[in-house]
Structure 1
Amino acid sequence: MIQGRVVAAHGRQYLVELPDGSRLSCFPRGKKSEVACGDCVDLRQTSSDQGVIEAIRPRRSLLYRSNDIRQKLIAANVDLLIIVVATEPAFSDELVTRALVAGESAGIETLIVLNKCDLTDRLAAARARLTVFAGLGYCIRELCARRDHAEDLRPALLGRTSVLVGQSGMGKSTLINALLPQAGAATREISLALDSGKHTTTHASLYRLDADSALIDSPGLQEFGLGHLERAEIEQAFPEFRPLLGQCRFRDCRHDREPDCALTAALHAECIDPRRFAAYGRIVGRRDT
């Protein structure tokens, strides 16, 4: 049995880095796969260029999204979730909120990166939309990856495994290439091994920054389902809700139309941002949102 770390995941095919630095294309045992990029695994080598994943070693964290039909694993053993937004194209406030909820629920530290800050005519509007997140204590870094500002992000990455998430067009791949000039060649190598697209991020890939630091790039997101979370978990993942939980008249308050609801009272007192409250309602499937 050999131990390795998954450095790329595409469907049911995985590229695993072995202790000697070589990489092996692997498939999971059985029909169902629960392997994620970043996983540490036990495998058996079945040929010179292929292996079978026998077991997933214990994880310290797992980031994933889900809906009523299926779940999509994003990355495992992650210390920092980096949500990449940009001045252009416009980003979704709700997708940012959903990613933050996923990070909070998984116990993963979160950082929001505002990219393409050289587009000064769009910068003020983007900053204004992020004000609510900054007010909740989330760290926001501004940069322009294509103007060599990506290095400003490097100190936050050292000694950690970080994962980039965001909508398509936010500049995640540009950020990766700015931090890792060799990433283009690595991506082509991974794509060849997995027989996947070479010019678009179609799979999650892990890149080494140094011996102790890694960065995972994930495919662009258009939605971030949170069907795997219970209502109580979602409530706890909103920092502005936490001081108010347990103060409603009814123990099972849905924060909808119930009288003496602490959250709706805070909303009316403008202590909770209405966009965040509406996003919460959509996440839990409340009928009036």
Structure 2
Amino acid sequence: MTLNLFQHYSKIQEIHPLVHHITNTVTINDCANATLALGGRPVMADSPKETAEMAKNASSLVINIGTLTEDAILAMKEAGRSANHHGVPVIFDPVGIGATAFRKETGFDLLDAIHPSIICGNMSEMKTLAGLESKSRGVDSGDSMDDADRLAKELAKKYETVMAITGPIDVVSDGERTVKLKNGHERLADVTGTGCMTNSLIATYAGAGNTPFESAILGILTMGICGEKANEWSSKVNEGIGTFKVRLFDAFSLLSEEDFSRSVIEYV
């Protein structure tokens, strides 16, 4: 597979896709700003009375189960069904799906009601989706990435979607093609919401007409590359994690063709 990364990124600057989020209250502002910095147009409508209509008119939809309420669950179902009906790509973020019985039941119920184009989460979350025992600690992953490529491929076939597993080495599979992505920096784990923002980046690429497989790769690479750049900028003057986060958003907004040449992609 040949992937002209900058060409796919450039589609965002031409289209400025409308990315509808039904996401968690912890990271909603960061997700909106990450989308905006990349060139998309975020909308965060979450009332069940309007989410179906909003999803119909959107370029892509993010469903994130980080902070569940009864209204949020109804809104997700309404939006997801509408997006499926109108051909709008859906990105599902199963945040902490194994942390509680309620969260697990809700996550699987949503997957019964909605067909995502892409499911992206950490190894603990993916093990829960596979019915395996996980070492989940809330929304964080306590699981190693051993066999992540095999698990991603199996889950992609099971759910008939693109699976993306994030970690020290990220994995993306559509069931036939599988890649490992090796960009990023450990400081990204010190900023709350980088996983949520990654799904916003993925959705922005998907909303610009890139395929689900391309979009998952591009969104994850963008977070990884921008994390590397943010660390380089902030470490020069020994800046802390707050400035690193600001630099991360700077990197989202200043992506260049040269930046994409840093991509490390291994085809499995």
Normalising by structure 1, report the TM-score: 0.30
Decide which structure has greater helix share. 2
Higher RCO (CA 8 Å, separation ≥ 6 residues): 2
Greater share of strand = 1
Structure (1 or 2) with the larger CA radius of gyration: 1
Q: TM-score, normalised by structure 2?
A: 0.31
